[in-house]
Amino acid sequence: MNELQVKTINLTPAVVEFNYEEISMMLDDQLAKYEGLTFTEKDAAACKKTITELNKGKKALDTYRKKTKKELTEEVIAFENKCKVLGSKFDEVINPLKEQHDQFEEERKNIKRLEIEGLIDHLVHVENLNEKYAAKLTVEDSYLTKSKTIKSIKEELTTKAAHLGVQQDKEEANLEVIKSHVELINTKYGVNLLEESYTTLLEYQSVGEIKGIIENHAQLQVDKEEAEAKAVEYKEVPLSSAPKSVSNDDYEFIEVYTVTGTESQLDALEEFMDREKIKWTVNKK
């Protein structure tokens, strides 16, 4: 359409003339007698009356201001309403056109999204990415803009897919290292550690750190089993199978021992004495 030219036929700025100077001088003269005025407790009523008179004058001025402002803005409000009516005429035509444009834009984005998704599927196949790493290749919002070309998107996704492939290969290699090390340690120490307990640690720790943890756990398990075996060796013959000629089992004796062992071995010994209801204490000296 031709360029719209809105012309002002008549514009009269709001002008209000009132006896400002006269009132200003009169207030200065009349209010001066109230400045510094003090009252005693006996003059409380007179003080209240003075305040009332002053507030009355102030209220009259404020009422005049509001009334005059309303009269001045009536024409402004009417002008704004007329402009809004004209604006609504534009909206009646623009809105349907905008809806069509938005629909075209959405269809364009959907077509481009499908093209990018096909590209991602191809790259996942080329790099042989598993579900975990394939999920990291996504259609970014910036890809759907008109300024972003398919060529640049392909280059970006190809680089990212190759990087993910390297990460995946490294992770799989580390998993095999951990699994092999668990198998080796199980054979070496005669224990049965579970692979899953250590492969999950790769998210937080290095391969070297995890191998150290595996060996430490195996040694702890061996120490525990040895302590339990020694505790069984120290176990007394049950009363029911002891010779009838032995009568000292009916009495309690106190013996002092010095025992040396690992923490797990000593824990196993304490559990054994508790199980056999043997009274014991730890010498703190």
What string of H, E and C letters represents the secondary structure of 141-163?
HHHHCCCCCHHHHHHHHHHHHHH
pLDDT in tens, the chain (285 residues): 567 777 777 777 778 888 888 888 888 887 787 777 777 777 778 778 878 888 888 898 899 889 988 888 888 898 899 999 999 988 999 999 999 999 999 999 999 999 999 999 999 999 999 999 999 999 999 999 999 999 999 999 999 999 999 999 999 999 999 999 999 999 999 999 999 989 989 888 999 999 999 999 999 999 888 888 888 776 654 545 545 554 555 556 566 677 777 888 878 888 888 888 787 777 665
Residue 253: the pLDDT is 58
Residue 249: the pLDDT is 57
Whether residue 113 lies inside any domain: the answer is yes
Distance linking the first and last C-alpha atoms of the chain: 104
pLDDT tens string 77-123: 988 999 999 999 889 999 999 999 999 999 999 999 999 999 999 99
Question: Which domain, by its residues, includes 228?
Answer: 171-235+259-275
Q: Among residues 178, 202, 271, which one has the least CA distance to residue 232?
A: 271
Cβ atoms 141, 121 nearer than 8 A: no
Note whether 109 and 202 are same-domain residues.
no
**Residues in contact with 138: Cβ distance below 8 Å, sequence separation at least 6, in sequence order:** 120
Note whether 76 and 109 are same-domain residues.
yes
Whether residue 4 lies inside any domain: the answer is no
Residue 2: the pLDDT is 65
Note whether 175 and 270 are same-domain residues.
yes
Report d(CA 191, CA 212) in Å as an integer: 16
Note whether 107 and 176 are same-domain residues.
no
Longest dimension (CA), the chain: 135
Note whether 84 and 178 are same-domain residues.
no
Structure tokens at 131: 């579900």
Residue 180: the pLDDT is 94
**Residues in contact with 217: Cβ distance below 8 Å, sequence separation at least 6, in sequence order:** 193
Whether residue 126 lies inside any domain: the answer is yes
Cβ atoms 218, 259 nearer than 8 A: no
Residue 274: the pLDDT is 84
Whether residue 124 lies inside any domain: the answer is yes
Residue 5: the pLDDT is 77
Note whether 144 and 195 are same-domain residues.
no
Other C-beta atoms closer than 10 Å to the C-beta of 262 total 14
Q: Among positive and negative, which fits the CA dihedral 141, 146, 152, 154?
A: positive
Whether residue 130 lies inside any domain: the answer is yes
Whether residue 193 lies inside any domain: the answer is yes
Q: Among residues 203, 204, 196, which one has the least CA distance to residue 178?
A: 196
pTM assigned to the model: 0.53
Whether residue 144 lies inside any domain: the answer is yes
Residue 250: the pLDDT is 56
Note whether 209 and 266 are same-domain residues.
yes
Note whether 263 and 178 are same-domain residues.
yes
Q: Which amino acid is at 55?
A: N
Residue 33: the pLDDT is 73
Whether residue 178 lies inside any domain: the answer is yes
Note whether 64 and 112 are same-domain residues.
yes
